[in-house]
Structure 1
């Protein structure tokens, strides 16, 4: 019996059986279409998002609404682009002769997945380079905060908030142009006003005392008594009134510093949660894209197999 001939006399196509089951041309074609559609939809989403953001208070969409809209748009972009890429990858692949139907179904599914993978990698590389810099440069600060769904923006917000919290904790109580100088000045306010070298020295000393006691956890009685004497001497207040002013001023100063630290930590925590939620929703969107691409590839492949090369449908 001649090689390649079966018992029934039919010849097996060894060329098709030994050929690769991957049509890279169809995969790259589907991936290119998916990446292009994804780019168009993402740019459209940025445009719609920016049009919904207003710099005026109580105008435009809220941050929650914009965040949910961004998540839904990313999911829609993934599904639409992946579906188109998978369908083209399945419809444009070669027609496998003498291949079992289950194997054809598996190959079509793999073609859709490959097209989605190539398109996702290409889109990610493209957006993290040229397009990412252009879009980030054109987005105002308020719009960038509203679009925390993007990984770069979220990471930047987390780093900035964490740095602010660390700086507030490290430099708490130091005299500068911040709240410390203001609270120290309130200690030495007097109806007569004015200042001199001695008053400036007293303010500097009071700032150091406040900084030290703030790190220690509270204003010590000795420091309170000493500062009240200095304040009474500089302002003409009675000892009791000066002591009350010192204690009240320190309490306000400590509360302002603690509130600033709490606000910085809350901002860092919100940014961390936004980054986590963004990553989870991005994972879900990509997973949906992979599934839709594989499913549409099987649909496109089945339509490919129902047509012969002359364009006539086969039954």
Structure 2
């Protein structure tokens, strides 16, 4: 009696037996490259923005124009930097021997996505490290209130104590940007005592400041909401760019494609 044996050949990905699919060296390299590129481009964009803007009314680029240009620049920087970082990660990752083309493309793209996530975490860590500078916002707010106090006291000869009192009153605005009745009366009294204005004119000046402050706060809220939406949308688009960059780098790696400047030098 004879028997036959069927020998099955199992093809496996040898790389998966000895290595994790995720190569962190390539990921960190891509993340650092993306962070460095974004840092340089943001610094360049900040320099250009300062050169075309002006603190004086009617000079330099308008505020709305500058805001739109800034938003577009943030979008470009995030997408470009993460495409470059994803490409570096995909190019440096070791080839997946025995894996299907779809698996290779997914792993390369996944490396790009992890570069994106790592880069965002690096940026968040740097932002948190620099958040100590946010304490200066309180001093900046007091400075703004002091400037507003000088404005409403214009035309008079108020001493430092009266200016500080007005600034403290302005700092006590409610969440709706309104002053209490007592604070309005106190501010109007100080203004009337230190200027040639009547009490009614002093109250009108306080009301004008309140209206301007509310309009400025509302505009700042809208700009903050738009900026937050832009940042989130830019991050999502940059994630797609990082995935694309990782896949592109992997294809160039498998094809042994030279870089443009390498080809030109040859």
> Unaligned 5+ residue runs, structure 1?
1-5, 142-161, 188-248, 309-315
| TM-score relative to the length of structure 1 | 0.60
How far does residue 35 in structure 1 lie from its aligned partner after superposition?
0.5
Match of 1:303 among 241, 248, 252: 252
How far does residue 181 in structure 1 lie from its aligned partner after superposition?
2.9
Closer, same or farther: CA 280–66 of 1 in aligned 2, 3 Å: same
Is it true that 1:113 corresponds to 2:113 in the alignment? yes
Contact 2:13–2:98 (CA under 8 A) maintained in structure 1: no
Q: Which residue of 2 aligns with 1:288?
A: 237
Structure showing greater Rg: 1
Is it true that 1:262 corresponds to 2:211 in the alignment? yes
Question: What secondary structure does 2:218 align onto?
Answer: helix
Closer, same or farther: CA 14–186 of 1 in aligned 2, 3 Å: closer
Closer, same or farther: CA 175–50 of 1 in aligned 2, 3 Å: closer
Closer, same or farther: CA 164–44 of 1 in aligned 2, 3 Å: farther
Closer, same or farther: CA 79–14 of 1 in aligned 2, 3 Å: closer
How far does residue 262 in structure 1 lie from its aligned partner after superposition?
1.7
How far does residue 284 in structure 1 lie from its aligned partner after superposition?
1.3
Question: What secondary structure does 1:40 align onto?
Answer: helix
**CA displacement, residues 201-255 of structure 1 (integer Å, 9 cap, x when unaligned):** xxxxxxxxxxxxxxxxxxxxxxxxxxxxxxxxxxxxxxxxxxxxxxxx63x4443
Question: What secondary structure does 2:233 align onto?
Answer: helix
Taking the aligned partners of 1:73 and 1:127, their CA distance within structure 2 comes to 19
Taking the aligned partners of 2:213 and 2:131, their CA distance within structure 1 comes to 31
Taking the aligned partners of 2:52 and 2:130, their CA distance within structure 1 comes to 25
Q: Kindly report the root-mean-square deviation, in angstroms, between the aligned alpha carbons of the 2 structures.
A: 3.2
> Unaligned 5+ residue runs, structure 2?
1-5, 142-169, 258-266
Q: Which residue of 1 aligns with 2:173?
A: 165
Contact 2:52–2:61 (CA under 8 A) maintained in structure 1: yes
Aligned length: 216
